[in-house]
Amino acid sequence: MTALQREDDLTSGNGRIVPFKMAHLVFQCADRQTVVEWYRKLFQADLVFEDEVLTFLTFDEEHHRLAFFNKPELASKQDTVVGVHHIAYSYRSIGDLLSTYDRLKPLGILPVWSINHGPTTSLYFSDPEGNNIELQVDNFPDQSDAAAFFKTEIFANNPIGIEFDPDEMVAMWRNGASDAELCALGTAATGQSLGPQKR
């Protein structure tokens, strides 16, 4: 961008100058090699750079999306301290999310929590050093529908969501269930229902 560009090209449209993307995440690792290999499998990521101190990975056009510092002297992560709880990545479709689950399962990378939150269908994973990663897909066709869902009685009564069995969900997907069926809050993969969901 140059100084000659219009002001509205530099802002979010409401006068605020905001980041236009998230560039990368950096982890400090006691067992860097194990953690790096886990993320390479999770994201089918390419190795960009590695030396004795630092590793860079990417899974798209960005020069690096993940970086890992080699810090073998560090203690293990504890759940009893403040900090980031999890990092979430979105997939384009429920099929892409379930296909990723199906690919990771034989590699021994399994979700620790599978839940339909209402606005998203989500799989949570824990990396070898206890960092939590969410892989998700949006359940609504646009963000305004998701925002509207936050104001419903369904969400007020259950803001966390309904857990599901990812193997059952994969079976439904392979048997031709629609995206709307798979993303509905309370699918056959749970045996529960909190009402219909728009898609």
Q: Which domains does the chain have, with CATH numbers?
A: 23-73 (3.10.180.10), 85-190 (3.30.720.110)
Share of the chain above pLDDT 90, in %: 78
Confidence of residue 9 (pLDDT cuts 50, 70, 90): low
pLDDT in tens, 31-65: 999 999 999 999 999 999 999 999 999 999 999 99
Is the pLDDT confidence value at 197 over 50?
no
Q: Which is it for the CA torsion 191, 102, 23, 75, positive or negative?
A: positive
25: exposed, middle or buried (Cβ count in 10 Å: 0-12, 13-18, 19+)? middle
Q: What is the pTM of this model?
A: 0.87
pLDDT in tens, 136-190: 999 998 899 999 999 999 889 999 999 999 999 999 999 999 999 999 877 656 6
pLDDT in tens, 57-115: 999 999 999 999 999 999 988 888 899 999 999 999 999 999 999 999 999 999 999 99
Angle subtended at Cα 102 by Cα 99 and Cα 103, rounded to the nearest 5 degrees = 90
